[in-house]
Amino acid sequence: MQIEVTINNKKTTLEIEKDELLADTLRANGWLSIRKGCDSSSCGLCTVWMDGKPVLSCSVFSFRAHGKSITTIEGVRGEAGELARFLAAEGADQCGFCSPGLLMTVLAMKRELPDPTEETIKHYLTGNLCRCTGYIGQLRAIKKYLGVA
């Protein structure tokens, strides 16, 4: 089946299988920032935005992206680069496998929560797992990036 979808502000028509998942479709079409970590909707590595909302692309059927706008980290390169520098400065970026999903979630949070606190940041990021760096450095970096005391 075919879907028409806007990926990173570019309208495109994609040929998909009926039961294909968005993470696989995006990767197959060159958006290689999408990582698959768990296949059980629990790690947050595959986070993209669908119409501006962060979703797990491993748990969304591709046909549901028809008519929607999808943003991957390639679509917010400048902003993501700035956030990545904060993470690097705090030693919070080790293997980097979870970074695209984490960055997409933090940038979504920045848009959604006007005045986050440490607690709301932690709650918002519950669904992003990291298995090497740990979370304290990430939290430190994100708080600095967002200007949270």
Partner 1 sequence: MNKSGLTLGRVVQPDTIEEAYQALTEHKDSAVLGGCAFLLLGSRKIGTAVDLSRLNLDYIKEQDEHIEIGAMATFRDVETSPVLQAYFSGVLPGAAGCVMGVQFRNIVTVGATVYSKYGFSDLITPLMALDAEVELFKGGRMPLAGFMEQPAARDILTRVFIKKSPMKAAYQNLRNSATDYPILNVAVSLLHNRWRVVVGARPQRAQIAPLASEALSRGTPNLESVDRAAGLAAEELPFGNNNRGSAEYRKAMCKVLIKRAVTEVLECK
Q: Whose CA is closest to 44, among 143, 138, 127?
A: 127
Binding to partner 1 by residue 10, rule CB under 8 A?
no
Subset of 65-104 contacting partner 1 (CB under 8 A): none
Give the whole-angstrom CA distance, residue 54 versus residue 128. 12
**With respect to partner 1, which residue has the nearer C-beta, 15 or 88?**
15
**With respect to partner 1, which residue has the nearer C-beta, 60 or 83?**
60
Binding to partner 1 by residue 64, rule CB under 8 A?
yes
Number of residues that bind partner 1 (CB under 8 A): 33
Candidates 33, 47, 72, 138: give the one binding partner 1 (CB under 8 A).
47
Parallel, antiparallel or unpaired: strands 2-7 and 69-71: parallel
Longest alpha-carbon distance in the chain: 50
Q: 23 is written with which tokens?
A: 């993470």
Q: Whose CA is closest to 147, among 116, 124, 126, 123?
A: 116
Q: Which residues bind partner 1 (CB under 8 A)?
A: 1, 17-21, 24, 39-42, 44, 47, 50, 53-56, 59-61, 63-64, 105, 108-109, 123-129
